[in-house]
Amino acid sequence: MKQALIIFAKNLIHGQVKTRLAATIGNDMALTVYSHLLQHTASVTNYLPVEKIVFYSDNIEQRDVWGNEVYKKQVQAGNDLGEKIQNGFIYAFGKGNNAVAIIGTDCLQITSAIIMNAFAYLQKHDVVIGPANDGGYYLLAIKQMHHQLFQNIRWSSDEVLKQTLAICNQQNLSVYQLAELSDIDNENDLTEELRQMLQRKTGKV
């Protein structure tokens, strides 16, 4: 089974990342947090034995945490998040992969093992999904395109997981749910490790 991992990442631009977090701790610290999240995601995906494709929000960067020798690089395309995710899967399947997973870069709890387990469970299920505690998901894996999974979803809301599971049920798709993890979206989500890192760097938080 040829496997691919899609990673959706925002370009590391001051004032354009972690905007909900920045609203309370400021753009400088939000940028520091997102840089840490990118580094974490790169560290847990770098050595995975699958094809890895980073989809940037704005433009491809050549010198960053995503090494050119490890990651293929693309730019997200679409009018909303659902269309962008759908196009990412279409691209990965078009490269001959028959098992594709997508993750973002907001989850400090994600590990290499969790991602590889998703591919393992996908062998016996149509869909594998990793629920996030904010009502979304941190991972989605499929073996073939199911366009309905990316349509008529209230993206960036606490309804995403529930609506996605409802679509799976309507389409008679078997689903395996991974352990629920936390995304870092606002100040309340900051872990003690992140707070200490910010304090060391800025003397605040």
* Bridge partner list, 142: 100, 127
Q: Divide the 205 residues of the chain into consecutive groups of 10 and give the mean pLDDT of each group.
A: 96 92 89 93 97 97 94 97 97 97 96 98 98 96 97 94 98 98 87 82 64
What is the span of the domain harbouring residue 115? 3-200
In this structure, is residue 205 part of a structural domain? no
pLDDT at site 202:
66
Q: Which of 17, 23, 92 is nearest to 58 (CA)?
A: 17
Distance CA 145, CA 85 (A): 11
pLDDT at site 190:
85
Distance CA 162, CA 177 (A): 12
Q: How many domains does the chain have?
A: 1
pLDDT at site 116:
98
CATH no. for residue 173? 3.90.550.10
Token pair 């990965």 in the structure block, residue: 92
